[in-house]
Structure 1
Amino acid sequence: MRLSCVIPAYNEAPRIEAVLRSVIGHPAIDEVLVVDDGSSDGTAAVAARVPEARLIAMPQNRGKSWAVSVGIEAAAHEHVMLLDSDLIGLGAEALDALVAPVRAGRSDVSISLRGNSPWPWRAIGLDYISGERVVPKALLGPPEALRALPRFGLEVYMNRRLIAKQARIAVVRWPGVASPWKGAKRGRWAGVKADARMLSDMFHTIPPHAAAAQIMAMRRLRS
């Protein structure tokens, strides 16, 4: 299985280099693509310091859905690993665990469950909006469809396609990996507003009752 790693990034200059140093040279990852989503804080310059990664710099901020679509379109291989660019504690062992179920054929898709995921997701054993996944490009649909999504509609859209295809899902626990809360990165009030925008985008992609149905369907599909 040949694997492309796609990392969308927006204003993550303090954190992205550590993520890149974790994935570069990993034996399961054949290429690394960073899509800088019009950052204003020098994220692209930091990523450019890691020459083994291919940097795609977008001229303006278009949101995560669009940035991921650009990375998927540029990816050379039929399987992609999607990673958020702000992860803390990411290492080779966590990457091995995320790749292993798909590489071994035990699942079609793998999804992370980070150590600091909200407690309801840890309680049910599924973070249905996790940004860390290994998935075949064929299951994601055409990049043009991703570009039509709201900025943060990507994960619930992917879930809808996985459920429609009855894809086998492996949930991979990442107890040592965390994603910082938006409030910690941007300040409390800015973090609240960012979370509200994310929820709005999600529920413009699918209504709230459909999100609950997604969770139940995905739990049934766990391999």
Structure 2
Amino acid sequence: MTAISCIIPVHNEAPRIAAVLAAVAGHPDLEEVIVVDDGSTDGTGDLVAELIASAANTRLIRLHPNRGKTGALSVGISEASAPLLMLIDGDLLGLTADHVAALAAPVRAGLAEMSISLRDNAPRPWHWIGLDYISGERVLPRAVLQEGIAALDALPRFGFEVHLNSLALRQGVRISVVRWRGVRSPLKGAKMGRWRGIKADLRMMGDIFRTVPPHRIVAQIARMRARRVH
């Protein structure tokens, strides 16, 4: 079966990263797991180092200073060795090994070129349309990123997912949406406090819209829905 490199970007996720690692470390579907600690200040990197000390094929990359999610993913992708990439956010709640296997399955079986998670607490509109276009959990061939890899370092901090969507649509990939029942991503307000969370969400949306303008986002979502295989 085609090998998969799992890349997990993290920044100040000490309360949550252990549960995520428990689901992926040693997973039979994964050739390697790469955790990219993006300049954490809460001890995340030290905790990860301790947790993976005896884990085979799992390693930690530390970045200083913080580069943002796109920068962390860029480093992880450049270090990955397998032809398939699995991207997993480091703050997920309820993630299990079965969820990991379900995300890999459509691509491994040749049913789609990219799979995308749809978590329980994804915004309600994403459930209505059956697609979370900015989901951080995906499986895809690294070849899909090849033509746009050089642009990653110039992207805004949270521009990665919509940039990847553009590349995938340009290449005509088939998309499988995998419903992750029981998996949640905590709101930024819950992690940072209400006002800091609101500011962080606004900065994230600003980065997204600087990467792909709002009117093109709407078209991107429509085209991605049309590429769904199930």
Counterpart amino acid of 2:21? L
Counterpart amino acid of 1:13? A
- Report whether the alignment pairs 1:221 with 2:221: no
- Report whether the alignment pairs 1:146 with 2:152: yes
Counterpart amino acid of 2:210? H
TM-score by length of 1: 0.98
- Report whether the alignment pairs 1:60 with 2:65: yes
Displacement of 1:73: 0.3
Corresponding residue of 1:2:
3
CA distance in 1, matches of 2:223, 2:129: 13
CA distance in 1, matches of 2:97, 2:71: 28
- Please give the secondary structure, in 2, of the residue aligned with 1:180: coil
Contact 1:13 1:41 in 2 (8 A): yes
Counterpart amino acid of 1:207? P
Corresponding residue of 2:201:
195
Query: Which of 62, 80, 91 is residue 75 of structure 1 equivalent to?
Result: 80
- Report whether the alignment pairs 1:43 with 2:44: yes
Displacement of 1:25: 1.3
Residue by residue over 1:8-47, the C-alpha shift from the partner in whole angstroms, topping out at 9 and shown as x without a partner, is 0001011111101110111101100000111111110111
Query: Which of 89, 93, 110 is residue 105 of structure 1 equivalent to?
Result: 110
- Please give the secondary structure, in 1, of the residue aligned with 2:48: helix
- Report whether the alignment pairs 1:174 with 2:168: no
- Please give the secondary structure, in 1, of the residue aligned with 2:228: coil
TM-score by length of 2: 0.95
- Report whether the alignment pairs 1:18 with 2:19: yes
Displacement of 1:92: 1.3
Displacement of 1:143: 3.6
CA distance in 2, matches of 1:145, 1:137: 15
Residue by residue over 1:98-135, the C-alpha shift from the partner in whole angstroms, topping out at 9 and shown as x without a partner, is 00000000000000000000000011100000000001
Aligned length: 223
- Please give the secondary structure, in 1, of the residue aligned with 2:216: helix
Counterpart amino acid of 2:22? R
Corresponding residue of 2:165:
159
CA distance in 1, matches of 2:16, 2:125: 26
The alignment yields a C-alpha RMSD, in angstroms, of 0.8
Displacement of 1:93: 1.3
CA distance in 2, matches of 1:147, 1:70: 9
Counterpart amino acid of 1:209? H
Counterpart amino acid of 1:217? R
Runs of 4+ in structure 1 over 6 Å off: none
